Amino acid sequence: VQLQAFGGGLVQTGDSLRLSCIASGQTFSRLALGWFRQAPGKEREFVAAISWSGGSTDYEDSVKGRFTISRDNAKNTVHLQMNRLKPEDTAVYYCAADKKEYWEDYVTNMDFDYDYWGQGTLVTVSS
């Protein structure tokens, strides 16, 4: 599976941004998907995840209520809508796919569960 993330950029505090990630290869509709981020000098951290059915999602506490993950299986795409952005959201954002095809509402926030990773897209939020 190849993943390509895009949509990052430079925005101001309070702005919105929508990240997208297009997948090719393995049947997309059976993949659990996630977004992670890595800020300068920090370890990579979980942001959001969605089950292959789309029926279950999970979010890191600091983004709950501001970020929304969604998927479009017809277009092999996963999105991360980010609203009310803060300077602490500045990071390289990575999409990831879990190939295990567990039950339809399976999600995971552990990076070691993901098998495929995109190249990352930079989000910079200025204060």
What local confidence, expressed as pLDDT, does residue 35 receive?
A: 98
d(C-alpha 105, C-alpha 57), whole Å = 8
Q: Residue 20 in contact with residue 4, Cβ under 8 Å?
A: no
What local confidence, expressed as pLDDT, does residue 28 receive?
A: 85
Per DSSP, the chain holds a count of helices (H) and strands (E) of 0, 11
pLDDT tens digits along 17-56 = 999 999 987 678 899 999 999 999 999 999 999 999 999 9
**Structure tokens belonging to residue 20:** 């997208």
pLDDT tens digits along 59-111 = 999 999 999 999 999 999 999 999 999 999 999 999 999 988 888 899 999 99
At 67, phi and psi to the nearest 5? -110, 145
Mean of the per-residue pLDDT values of the chain: 95
Write the CB contacts of 74 (distance below 8 Å, at least 6 apart in sequence): none
What local confidence, expressed as pLDDT, does residue 100 receive?
A: 87
